[in-house]
Amino acid sequence: MLNIYGLDDHIIEIYKQTQRQLEDVELLEKLLGDGSPKRVLEPFCGTGRVFMGLAACGHEIFGMDSSSSMLSEGRRKLAAAPEGLRRRVTLARKDVMAEEWPRGFDAVLLANNSLYELPSPELQLDCLRRAAGCCQRTSRFQKPASVPSRREGNERIPLQPVSERRGPWRDHAPF
């Protein structure tokens, strides 16, 4: 598995210091719908900022990442969590763009610009195809783009979804 940056430990330290916002996790929880637990796949799950929040809301998470360092940090966070939350999270080391993705999920999350960090439009499109193939027919597609949080004076403006499609979205998705 290729570690593109070779800087995982440094990136993890930066995440610990800077990745404290939860607005996107709160938005994802709202977008997941009716409050019933969902099966959620998070490719490029990293250190767990997103999957920990969603698992705490009762969702079953399958996270995968190619970085053993990132997954180790995620497992460290899980070890400190209540047992019920730990049981809802499965983590796997996978080369996300080379290996098969598991199937049958209610949602696939491409969080934190993970799609845009892929180095070519072809890989980005392949990633979207893989995500589409993992979802159940009644799943929801949320374009992995949003207007980032920003401050106006002392007021924080939350993330807003750019667009979404509901229902059997594979019938009209562009991929």
Per-residue pLDDT of 35-46, as tens digits, reads 789 999 999 998
Helices (H) and strands (E) in the chain, counts: 6, 10
Which of 121, 120, 126, 134 has its CA nearest to residue 170?
A: 134
CB 147 within 8 A of CB 156: no
Bridge partners for 63 per DSSP: 42, 91
- The answer to pTM > 0.75 is no
Other CB atoms within a 10 A radius of the CB of residue 21 amount to 14
pLDDT of residue 84: 95
Amino acid 129 reads R
Mean pLDDT of the chain: 75
Q: Which residues of the chain have pLDDT under 70?
A: 1-24, 112, 137-175
Secondary structure of residue 77 in the 3-state scheme: helix
CATH 3.40.50.300 fits 36-137+149-171, yes or no: no
